[in-house]
Amino acid sequence: AQSVAQPEDQVNVAEGNPLTVKCTYSVSGNPYLFWYVQYPNRGLQFLLKYITGDNLVKGSYGFEAEFNKSQTSFHLKKPSALVSDSALYFCAVRALPGYSSASKIIFGSGTRLSIRP
Amino acid sequence: DTGVSQNPRHKITKRGQNVTFRCDPISEHNRLYWYRQTLGQGPEFLTYFQNEAQLEKSRLLSDRFSAERPKGSFSTLEIQRTEQGDSAMYLCASSFGDRVNIQYFGAGTRLSVL
């Protein structure tokens, strides 16, 4: 069965410092991996995805994520945090087409990122 | 605005009443998804449509829940005989095709069952 784990409920970082939001996954076969961000009273916004290719993927707002197959991780990173990055971040996984229940995305429980000025 | 639109944004109802939510996807998107999100949790998959066909339903979708997408455009999610446990944010998402499958989400409908 597919699953996603975000081990930290909250991450606190000072503005200007690098940030990392952790994610590990479990899926049959090769995964599609995603990061979404949720701001208050707004829908989830797509940040970035990993399908295949380079393990380091770049996304919106200066975020990037590193796919590590051996550790089954897909941590979200940003070199220099902004106060405006404060939001709820979700990691998600989807199995490639051809596997059962392949069309749905499984989301982690979310990590609240708080950037202090 | 050409994003995913959900109505209403908020719904307060009494236990036992029926409620219906609407989702208008991005116009060229052939896939439409419904999720439920409770406080402190990530979205949980409920069901999805490819055009007008409902292709998958989660076990979370009890007999009181029904979803339709009659013409392959907008979709409705109905909950009959609501229970307090149905209180949640109901999210709709749409995508085009399958290969890339970036799902674009609406702002959600927040349901409160009293």
**Which residue of chain B has the CA closest to A9?**
B40
- According to the model, what pLDDT value does residue A104 have? 75
| A53 reaches B (C-beta below 8 A) | no
- According to the model, what pLDDT value does residue B62 have? 87
Judged on CB neighbours under 10 Å (0-12, 13-18, 19+), B18 is: exposed
Residues in chain B within 8 Å Cβ distance of A92: 42
Measuring CA to CA, how many Å separate A64 from each of A19, A60, A77, A92, B25?
10, 8, 5, 15, 28
Q: Is the pLDDT of residue B1 over 60?
A: no
Measuring CA to CA, how many Å separate B67 from each of A107, B19, B37, B73, B77?
21, 12, 17, 13, 4
B96 versus B20: the higher-pLDDT residue is B20
Say how far apart CA B63 and CA A23 lie, in whole Å: 34
Dump pLDDT digits (tens) for A23-71: 999 987 778 899 999 998 788 999 999 988 889 999 999 999 999 999 9
Contact B107 A43 (CB under 8 A): yes
Pick from A25, A8, A42: which is nearest to A34 by CA? A25
Q: Is the pLDDT of residue A81 over 90?
A: yes
Residues B60, B30, B3, CA angle at the centre, nearest 5°? 85
Say how far apart CA A23 and CA A74 lie, in whole Å: 5
Stretch B58-62: mean pLDDT, rounded?
84
Residues in chain A within 8 Å Cβ distance of B48: 103-104
Say how far apart CA A76 and CA A35 lie, in whole Å: 8
| A5 reaches B (C-beta below 8 A) | no
Q: Which of B101, B104, B109 to mutate to test the interface with A (most CBs of A within 10 A)?
A: B101
Say how far apart CA B109 and CA A42 lie, in whole Å: 11
Q: Is the pLDDT of residue B95 over 80?
A: yes
**Which residue of chain A has the CA closest to B97?**
A103
Dump pLDDT digits (tens) for B11-51: 999 999 999 999 999 998 999 999 999 988 899 999 989 99
